[in-house]
Each structure stands twice: as structure tokens, then as C-alpha cells.
């Protein structure tokens, strides 16, 4: 599957934060493995002068997704903590558009579009095609991709730059199937060509 990096393209790097990396509070198995391929995608988009977005889970200390507040997760990605920082090896350019989500105590938001300005920002830049990679395949990547599709973006899933939590065995595989069924196009680095 070949896919063009058109001038209407943008990269979205989802939640590559310390807490989602082995050693963090909510580690995604092999989560660190997405950093190297994502750096290559980042460089590809940067060279073409295309927008790069990085979403981040940005929870208050009393967020409803945390176990002690009735949720299912250990506390993670608390605003301004080490765990909420982007992985130190992720080479985000200075002008990266940072999107903080799930910032309110009583609202969960797995998607980078939910309760944020992301759609408006991309629309203003004339973006029609979004390339999505990062963490976690079965939560924030999935919800971001499904929202992008609903909003009418051509949505490209970067198969070589995603990892899932797999709370239940097979969750990531099922998430990939769901994204593809809904219209996402799964590609790898070598499928991209520059026009």
C-alpha cells in the first residue's frame, strides 16, 4: 500500500509519555519501541514543513480514571509530573502542536479530538490526511483514529509505530481491525512517498 505525503498531511503522535513506557505508572509493553520509528516519521514531516501534533494525557491528581476515584487505571500522567512528560528520546520539533486531553477531574477523553481544539487547528491548516502513531493502540490511538475518521479525515495508521496495553489478550489486534473496518489505512514507513 503506497501512500502520498501530500501538502494536506499532518502527523499526530499520541501519548508518548513516560508513564506509558516500561518503568512508568501505566506501562505499555514495549512502549519504548515506538520512539525510534516515530522519530523517523517526525523527521519526514519536519523536512516537508508539515504540521506535527503531539497529544498528551494530562490528568489532574483526582482524575476519575484513577482506581481511587472509581476508574480502572493506576494514577498516571498527572499534570506537570515526570510521568506526564514526553519520552526524553522523542525528538519533537520546537513548533510541535501540543494537545493536552482529559484535563478535567470528571471527564475521560481517550481521543485527542475530545474536548480539545485539535480539529479546529487541523482545519485551519488545511489538513485533510492525518497519520497517527503512538500509545496505546487499544485506547488513545484507537479513539483518536476513530474520531479522525468521523470528522472526515483520511486517516493513516502507522502500523510500525504503535503498541497496545492488551488488558485482555487480543485487545490491540481487535482495535486495529476496528480502525481498519471504519476506514483507516494501515501502512509502514516504506509505504510513504513524497509528492
Which residues of the shown chain bind ligand VGL in the complex (CB under 6 A)?
Answer: 15, 20, 57, 65, 73, 135-136, 139-140
The DSSP H or E segment spanning 162 is strand 154-163
Q: Judged by CB, which is closer to ligand VGL: 34, or 50?
A: 34
Q: How far is the CB of 19 from ligand VGL (least distance, A)?
A: 9
58 binds, among Zn ion, ligand VGL, none (CB under 5 to 8 A by kind): none
77 is catalytic: no
Q: How far is the CB of 90 from ligand VGL (least distance, A)?
A: 14
Annotated catalytic residue within 19, 57, 77, 101:
101
140 is catalytic: yes
| Residue 31 φ then ψ, to 5° | -55, -30
Torsion of CA 19, 29, 130, 122, to 10 degrees: -10
Active-site residue list: 15, 101, 140
Amino acid at each position: 500500500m503506497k501512500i502520498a505525503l501530500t501538502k494536506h498531511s499532518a502527523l499526530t503522535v499520541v501519548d508518548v509519555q513516560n508513564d506509558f513506557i516500561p518503568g512508568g505508572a501505566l506501562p505499555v509493553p514495549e512502549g519504548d519501541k515506538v520512539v525510534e520509528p516515530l522519530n523517523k516519521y517526525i523527521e519526514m514531516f519536519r523536512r516537508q514543513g508539515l504540521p506535527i501534533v503531539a497529544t498528551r494525557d494530562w490528568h489532574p491528581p483526582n482524575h476519575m480514571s484513577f482506581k481511587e476515584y472509581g476508574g480502572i487505571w493506576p494514577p498516571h500522567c498527572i499534570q506537570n509530573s515526570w510521568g506526564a512528560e514526553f519520552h526524553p528520546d522523542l525528538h519533537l520539533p520546537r513548533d510541535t502542536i501540543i494537545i493536552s486531553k482529559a484535563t478535567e477531574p470528571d471527564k475521560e477523553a481517550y481521543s485527542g479530538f475530545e474536548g480539545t481544539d485539535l480539529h479546529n487547528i487541523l482545519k485551519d491548516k488545511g489538513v485533510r490526511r492525518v497519520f497517527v502513531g503512538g500509545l496505546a493502540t487499544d485506547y488513545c490511538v484507537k479513539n483518536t483514529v476513530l474520531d479522525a475518521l468521523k470528522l472526515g479525515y483520511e486517516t493513516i495508521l502507522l502500523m510500525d509505530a504503535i503498541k497496545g496495553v492488551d488488558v485482555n489478550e487480543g485487545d490491540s489486534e481487535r482495535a486495529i481491525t476496528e480502525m481498519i473496518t471504519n476506514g483507516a489505512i494501515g501502512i509502514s514507513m516504506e509505504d510513504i512517498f513524497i509528492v
